[in-house]
Amino acid sequence: MNFLERRIIKENGFEDDRSPYLRDRDRILFSRSFRRLGFKTQIITPIKKEINDHIRNRLTHSLEVLQISTSIARYINKEYKKYKLDISLCEAISLGHDIGHCPYGHIGEKAIFKFVFDENNNEKDDKDPKNNFKGKLRHNFQSLKVCCFLEKQYYPDFYGLNLTVATLDGIFKHTKMSKEELDEYNKIFSRYCDVFWKENEEMSKNIDIYVLDYFKTLFEYRSPYTIEGICVALSDEIAQICHDVEDLRRIGGIFCINIINDVYEEIKKKLEELISKESFEENIKKIFDEFKEAYNNSNIIKVERLYTKIIIKLALSSISKILFKLKEDTSEDDWKELIRDYHLGSFDDLINIIEKKKVEIDEINIYILKLFEDIQNIIKNSLDDHNIARWDVKGKDLYLELCKYLYDIMKDQHDIFKIFPKNMRKHLKLSYKVGKKLEEDYKIGDLRFKVPIWDYLAGMTDSYIIKEYESIIFKKVNIL
């Protein structure tokens, strides 16, 4: 068994012959953190979710990522016999990639970062720059923490799900990060390892130190280490450009209609150019002809379905060819350099690699990548609805007020964990110890109080954080 299939905490005596990655998939699937994804925002604010039950959440998004990533993996396995991607690994990474997402998504990430690091890090330490936190608190790092330390479902008195190295790496790296951020996360991860594993008598006996050291070397790479991990990261991007358009249509409003029209005009223009230049698969041509007819007849529901079909079909062939070509035409040393310096799970980095002639890719596949990037940018740059902007302000203020309230209570009480539910206190006491160690690393005070609050709030659902806010602060939250 290679290092990628091994687990940091040694386990013996499995009762069945499931593969390591299939076992990972099942552990994630049966975890409480995974179930909570059904109640966490994907792109749409709670304002609009009130009026439509068909809008995506983090759980349905994860299932769509699974479907796309396994389809790409099967396509590669069928068309390019030289490489056999592990379908179970794709499934495990897909199901776990968002497992650490905060309630209300990126609003929550930004608010927690401001609370934990930014407020006390305004005065930069010029004498010792290593004490300054570089980066953001991202959901993918919280997903890693959940899988390694915070999830309690797997065994009683056992921390985390104890997944394989390849699954952990794929979950953590599905989001693009800078090298500086990776260094910061490695530092924080090491402190969690110290407290949750090395200082725990039972856990410390079973640490496979060689596997742990190997996993920590993977923090040097910006990309997932496996092709399966890269496949999932790209599938995450593809899923979003597919379903965000449908969700925007469902919430209605003129700004949504404008975004959708911009997206459809872009794909219509680009595919017409492409089909006129290149030999194109007949089935995609046929779908595109249907798409144009439906679009000209304002049959928006049919257009929506055909749009998703076109994106998925383009992605299957194009992403498969690009990944195969990258791996096939790159030596092992050059491949390691690529995944160290670039994030191959993002459209912009893939385009950058190709344009720098680090690998030869057909023009048609570059064109398709650029189309995906253009659609992604249209959606990102157009989310300016006043209701969304107002909820962002409300959500951030809610987070910060709740964080500060919990922080003040912890500082004032003799029993600082009394404010938290009993079943959470054991883990949060360990997060408190992590915070104490991070105070030494960053020369920032009060992280012992802030890190447990970070871990406490990050695990909540959208509705639960509002209930907690109303219960503790005695203010009613009106999301409409």
Spacing of C-alpha 426 from chain mean position: 27
Domain boundaries, the chain: 252-382
- How does DSSP assign 271-337, residue by residue? HHHHHHHS---HHHHHHHHHHHHHHHTT-HHHHHHHHHHHHHHHHHHHHHHHHHHHHHTS-HHHHHH
Count of residues in the chain? 480
- Burial status of residue 234 (CB atoms within 10 A of its CB: 0-12, 13-18, 19 or more): buried
CB 1 within 8 A of CB 166: no
Q: Tokens in use for 92?
A: 């495990």
Q: Tokens in use for 214?
A: 């190997």
> How far apart, in whole angstroms, are the C-alpha atoms of residue 93 and residue 238?
15
Three-state DSSP state, 225: coil
Three-state DSSP state, 137: coil
Q: Which of 254, 265, 273 is nearest to 295 (CA)?
A: 265
> How far apart, in whole angstroms, are the C-alpha atoms of residue 460 and residue 469?
12
Cα torsion through 159, 165, 169, 172, rounded to 10 = 0
- State the 10-residue block means of pLDDT for the chain, 480 residues long: 91 84 96 93 59 81 97 93 91 98 87 83 49 75 96 78 97 96 96 96 92 95 97 97 82 67 84 74 83 86 88 92 90 93 95 83 87 88 68 84 94 88 93 96 92 95 92 79
Q: Tokens in use for 327?
A: 């791996």
pTM, two decimals, is 0.93
What's the half-sphere exposure (Cβ side, CA atoms, 13 Å) at 386? 1
Residues 6+ apart with CB under 8 A from 270: 367, 371, 374
> How far apart, in whole angstroms, are the C-alpha atoms of residue 212 and residue 284?
46
Residue 333: predicted pLDDT: 93
- Residue 299 carries which side chain, given as an amino acid letter? N
Q: Which of 103, 55, 54, 92 is nearest to 70 (CA)?
A: 92
Q: Tokens in use for 132?
A: 């300054």
Q: Which of 176, 474, 212 is nearest to 342 (CA)?
A: 176
Residue 129: predicted pLDDT: 47
**Residue position matching structure tokens 């500082």:** 411
Quickly count: other Cβ atoms within 10 Å of residue 255's Cβ: 17
CB 146 within 8 A of CB 319: no
* Rama region for 157: left / alpha / beta (φ>0; ψ in -120 to 50; rest): left
Angle at 375 between CA 312 and CA 342, to 5 degrees: 85
The DSSP call for residue 60 is H
Residue 123: predicted pLDDT: 47
> How far apart, in whole angstroms, are the C-alpha atoms of residue 458 and residue 94?
20
- How does DSSP assign 377-442, residue by residue? HHHHHH---HHHHHHHHHHHHHHHHHHHHHHHHHHH-SSTTTTS-HHHHHHHHHHHHHHHHHHHHH
Residue 52: predicted pLDDT: 66
Rg (CA), the chain: 23
Helix axes 165-172, 209-217, angle to 10 degrees: 30
First to last CA, the chain: 54
- Residue 34 carries which side chain, given as an amino acid letter? F
